[in-house]
Copies of this chain bind each other. A is one copy, B any other.
């Protein structure tokens, strides 16, 4: 069946366990003849070392925890792929934690930092509060945030304010003046990273710069999701003076907006322009104009930063590094100049 131990191998090869351990770890000081003897013993017993025992002895686990909310979001999947790529390269195992409730969140932030269970932590889209952050850095477990902010913690993210600005500016340059913003809900009891809020301020900044008054009826919040966004857009389009352009906080939400536009018998771009955020894969198929952010790359960068931290003998107290990824507008076919007034 299973589990031959190192001792069995030692006996079989007629050597001590120490020697077996040495060949296992490619220790130079072991005679070639005994090495081969041990190796054949290993092969014949079909032996494989126990990772767990190894971990206990070594004090490291060689696996890193990835915690993230909302599995479903395409943007998360892209990031995760990036993470997986580099973790696999460095032979780290990826343990995945999904967090969709406040309780699970608390539980995780309490248990993760302790324990020798993980060599490192990767946290996606979840901004720790000050307490949690303190505990994290205090625990000495290297951690990096991806798509989340916290001063004092290593992190890779984007300039959301600029993203909001870019999207809005594009619409303004096209000639739009009545521009709405469909946002995630800002005040979540569940602490996400307030990207929507920052994009909102970029939106207002662009508006102000162009001398366009901000209108609160053009600013709607709702839970993340196609359906919710569709409803918001419906409300917008039903306004006495509906917007001629809508900026959605994510591509997913932009899809909802697109549907609402169709539902109203209007045509996208011609009647109302739509711009999204993220540039997930479907955005291309939908020909959605959007703000591209490096999703896959964010995962790669975050994981690499973590690996680097891991090797660096954990010089705590070092100030946290921040990696900022570039943003750019991808112009496709859902934006156009506003229809000229009849």
Contact = CB atoms under 8 A, between A and B. Distances in A.
Interface residues of A, number: 47
A52 interface: yes
A71 B84 contact: yes
Contacts of A74: 74
A51 interface: yes
A95 B285 contact: no
A88 B104 CA distance: 10
A71 B80 contact: yes
Interface stretch (A53-61, A124-132, A208-216, A300-308): A53-61
B2 A140 contact: yes
Contacts of A114: 2-3, 46, 48
A34 interface: no
A7 to B, nearest CB: 15
Interface in A100-130: 104, 111, 113-117
Contacts of A2: 113-114, 139-141
A125 B87 CA distance: 22
Nearest to A285: B255
B1 A140 contact: yes
A98 interface: yes
A17 to B, nearest CB: 16
- State the number of copies, please: 2
Contacts of A52: 52, 55-56, 61, 115-117
A63 B116 contact: no
B111 A48 contact: yes
Contacts of A78: 72
Interface in A131-178: 138-141
A51 B94 contact: no
Interface string A276-291: 0000011001000000
Contacts of A48: 111, 114-115
A48 B135 CA distance: 14
Nearest to A55: B52
A93 interface: yes
A325 interface: no
A226 interface: yes
Contacts of A259: 285
Contacts of A328: none
B77 A115 contact: no
Interface of A: 1-3, 46, 48-53, 55-56, 61, 63, 71-72, 74, 77-78, 80-81, 84, 88, 93-98, 104, 111, 113-117, 138-141, 226, 255, 258-259, 281-282, 285
6 contacts: A2-B139, A48-B111, A49-B115, A53-B56, A72-B78, A84-B96
